Structure 1
Amino acid sequence: MSDRRHILILGGTTEARRLAGELAEDSGLRVTTSLAGRVAQPRLPAGEVRIGGFGGPSGLARWLREQQVDALIDATHPFAGTISFNAAEAAAAARVPLLAVRRPGWEPGPGDRWYPVASLAEAAGLLPALGERAFLTTGRMGLAAFAHLEDMWFLVRSVDAPEPPAPPRMEVLLDRGPFTLDGERELLRRHRVDVLVTKDSGAAATSAKLAAAREAGIPVVVVRRPPAPEGVPTAADPAEAAEWLRRCFPDA
């Protein structure tokens, strides 16, 4: 039996990759990152990788026990949704310590014209009053919420090609961040964008669009983050997460 501590990271984010890279350098740790498998060619982190779901909280709890996981770190996207609640339930059932890495959200600054909403459906309902040419940066999974807006034109940016239902007047841009301010300025200008739609994902890799929209005086519809499980300790970045692990296992 290995005497290394087994750490499972629920990943798919920049923070998860950075954390896996840091922890994998520690010979006293075995690091496994789990990816949901929604991206065709994900950026693979250091250490071991598994792809696919667990089968709900009971399946995850079983995997934690079978693989003798010593600590679980939820470093999924702020909008990943169900997985964070599954992680909290599974960690409690398997009696495994759990930490959530929660990157800080974006905050509006002077000159921003932000319209916070609770959902993609609410964003779609607001759009016709704000513009005619929308830059949609909410990912490929939620386009159905905008499919009925036949009079609007959409620039949709995502890592993988979206599938229907989708808006009838749409141009797809396949790209992956980080994005530069100059690039976002040019994108807004070239496509004559007059409204931006985004999720409050946080992080710097995709924040340049907000600065470009501010400079251009373009309104931004911001979808607020969904609720997260209560009572789970959190870290703002991989460095804090690594420190939490050191406190959990001072002998590692």
Structure 2
Amino acid sequence: MDVGHVGEDVEQQAPATGSCAGACRGEFRFVWKESEELMLEFAAHMPGWRQLSRADLRRHRCLRLNPLWWLCIFGCAACILLGHGFHGAFRQGGAVRSDEYEVERRARIWWVYCYSGGFVGTVLVDLVALMSALASEGSGEERNRTVRSCVVAILIQLWYMLGDLNLLFMMSRKDTVLMHASAISRVTFGAAFLVAFVIGLLTPAGQATFHHWAEGEPDSEAGGPPPRETAITWMIRLVFCLFMVVAYLGASSQAGHESLKPIRDAK
């Protein structure tokens, strides 16, 4: 992967005199190009395709005629679009520095924007579910349970998005120690939820819930205590969030130290 400096900013903003429609078209072209490049980067590392050029990959029938391929590109484009808008609201919609490296540009767009955009979408979905639960007139216990679940999910996702803001800030400072700490926390976030998902899916309680959704089995007894497996998954989430809080506060306190100076460019 090329780690040289970016010679040209691919995220050129629309001129001030341009129309809103022109700016939107430019944004859509940007997110589609980046999502396609992201998927091509992934395909280039598949066994048997590593010797192919990007042009050959674009023309490859297994990709060009594959609906799943275009669905993945569309999904990445939607996430990058939402993530770019979210970070743009905090003035992080462009290069982290004037001397941004290509590898940093790819990490910013393909990783940070894409993941943040995914969480923007899930936060919106959870907000809709929360509003729907608050407006419903069903069982009070079930409604309260849904409200609590939505609130906790929204808070967790917002905390992840704040971590992405912090990661780009550390990239702008060339603070590799805190950049690595932030990147590790991003990976740990996904690993923790993967463990929680597996525990919930492979246990009897998780299988019963799946069959209830898929086959419409009767609801469990209302007001009963949650199963032990459900309690374990929630403990994992809460403990992980506690570690995220501690790590983020530690990173924030060190970020303000004047002794932390940017690392000099490699020669």
| Greater relative CO, 1 or 2 (CA 8 Å, sep 6+) | 1
Higher helix share: 2
Q: TM range, normalised to the smaller chain?
A: under 0.3
TM-score with structure 2 setting the length: 0.23
TM-score with structure 1 setting the length: 0.24
